[in-house]
Amino acid sequence: MAANVDRAELSGLFTPFRLGNLTLANRVVMPAMGLAVCENGAPNADHAAYYARRARGGAALVMTEGVYIDHPSSGDNPLLGRFHGEHALEGWRAVAAQVHAAGAYVMPELWHVGLIPLVAEVMAGEEVRYRQELGQVSPSGYIAPGRRVCEGMSQAQIDAVIEAYGRGADMARRLGFDGVEIHGGHGYLIDQFLWGELNKRTDAYGGSARARGRFAAEVVAQCRRHLAPGMPIVMRISQWKTIDYAGRIAATPGELEELLRPMADAGVDLFDCSQRRFWEPAFDDSDLNFAGWTKKLTGKPTMTIGSVGLDCDMQASLGAGQEAGCNLASLGELARRFDRGEFDLVGVGRAMIAEPDWAHIVREGRLSALKPFSPSVIAHALRPAA
């Protein structure tokens, strides 16, 4: 990576970008990051102020944390966002209004976790277990590769989840959001369909890569039916999983293209390509990252994300409690890849929690003013804005 970076190199990040019917003021996005501070799924006033503060700090687009769609097994953590129920929805309406007042666009990240183990059990090395009381669903009943714990989803169950995503998109429109992001990565329900290790279906939703992408495409199409014309749909995808950092939905570019083509054709406007480290190549024999390959294969705009401006990835800083220092050399690499057209937007996560004015500081070339990230800054970030 380049050792030095100056203001001119990063100037491309501060040019406008058209996304659906939105014109973003720059290319900097605050991505979806779960903070686990909701009250029975509802954000409070400090939570809304937190999102608005990043908008005032220069993010052109703010993604909320993942919000559970209106389906019985979409998720059970009351500290995470819920996108149904009057109390929770009024909280999210306030988030949208405050982000708009601060000068940015905002989208909720619609989320269904599917069949996942308890993180605490995974971290403790315990055997993962199926929580039958939650009615968890998945494409084939696998909670981890090689570990089948229940039956796969019936067509009726698939249809019910797709309809719930549609209700989520409709609610986003009604609450004043500017579009939706669909969480299709990190090992959650949509990703469980995409990942051949967990999708063992032999019907129209499994087998070939294109068939594994069908469920995601049908979710996109349903959301599109509920949004106003021009409202953008963003699809978050990843290779890595919370249960398997080395997991891959596609072993080759050809397989990735077959997976993503149905989603692109169904109406995705932008792919949010999550990597642990944005500078790492997605496949052998090319230095293109995951966002670069996705853009090349689908022709759709992409956003890159993964340790932007920091020197260690999310798992190290959040899981192990390691401080993530500023890595200015990585910003030079970011600029190099952006200038060659590898991606269109940049998601700045932990670095923007630590420094809400990240976009303004980088635009002004005051890189030495950027702050490192540590888990302790999350509590500080959620205090009322000064």
Q: In this structure, is residue 286 part of a structural domain?
A: yes
Phi, psi of 19, deg, nearest 5: -130, 105
Q: Rounded to 5 degrees, what angle do the CA atoms 83, 188, 160 make?
A: 55
Number of domains in the chain: 1
Which residues span the domain enclosing 109? 37-301
Q: In this structure, is residue 200 part of a structural domain?
A: yes
Q: What's the rounded mean pLDDT across residues 137-141?
A: 97
Q: Which residue has the higher pLDDT, 88 or 326?
A: 88
Closest CA to 95 of 144, 42, 22, 32: 42
Q: In this structure, is residue 330 part of a structural domain?
A: no
Which pTM value belongs to this model? 0.94
pLDDT in tens, 194-214: 999 999 999 999 999 999 999
**Residues in the chain, total:** 386
Label residues 100-121 b or e (16+ Cβ within 10 Å = b).
bebebbbbbbbbbbbbbbeeee
Q: Is the dihedral of CA 122, 123, 126, 131 positive or negative?
A: negative
β-strand partners of 61? 29, 105
Q: In this structure, is residue 202 part of a structural domain?
A: yes
Q: In this structure, is residue 174 part of a structural domain?
A: yes
pLDDT in tens, 212-240: 999 999 999 999 999 999 999 999 999 99
**CATH code for position 266:** 3.20.20.70
**Active-site residue set:** 188
Q: In this structure, is residue 96 part of a structural domain?
A: yes
Q: In this structure, is residue 312 part of a structural domain?
A: no
Q: What's the rounded mean pLDDT across residues 301-327?
A: 71
pLDDT in tens, 36-53: 889 999 999 999 999 999
Collect all residues with Cβ–Cβ distance below 8 Å to 112 and sequence separation of at least 6. 68, 69, 71, 73, 74, 75, 161, 164, 165, 183, 188, 189, 190
Q: What's the rounded mean pLDDT across residues 268-287?
A: 96
**CA distances, 75 to each of 66, 93, 111, 323, 369 (Å):** 10, 21, 8, 29, 38
